[in-house]
Amino acid sequence: MVKRQALFTAFIAVALGAAACSSSGQGAAATPPKPVTHTVRIESMRFQPETLTVNAGDTIVWANNDLVPHTATSTSAFDSALIDAGRLWQFTPPRRGTFEYVCTFHPTMKGTLHVK
């Protein structure tokens, strides 16, 4: 009798554990990631980091820490216009893709934004 009760208890524990694992897996897949804010520093005539990977819906802030104005300009997705020294500009990509961008005043300054 004791052996049968121990087997029954073990069976219930395994069944409950399996049910908990399967339901938590479904909930995790259905929850989209929370939006995050990323910063691209403009320093020493460079975008830092030069390449950034984000999720659609995240916000990217370009912070101009140089002494001169810059832009963050992509031909297909965004254009900051003038970002004065000491100022910020932000963009929230609505769609996936890879977007190369430059500073229109200093075309050797290049960056890449990967949106997944």
Domain boundaries, the chain: 1-31, 37-115
For residue 78, what pLDDT is reported? 96
Tokens encoding 87:
């100022």
Cα separation, 84 vs 52, whole angstroms: 22
Per-residue pLDDT tens digits of the chain, which is 116 residues long: 545 454 444 444 444 444 444 444 455 566 878 999 999 999 999 999 999 999 999 999 999 999 999 999 999 899 999 999 999 999 999 899 999 999 999 999 999 999 99
C-alpha to C-alpha distances, 89 to 16, 30, 52, nearest whole angstrom: 51, 32, 16
For residue 33, what pLDDT is reported? 80
pTM above 0.75, yes or no: no
Task: State the CATH class of domain 37-115.
Answer: mainly beta
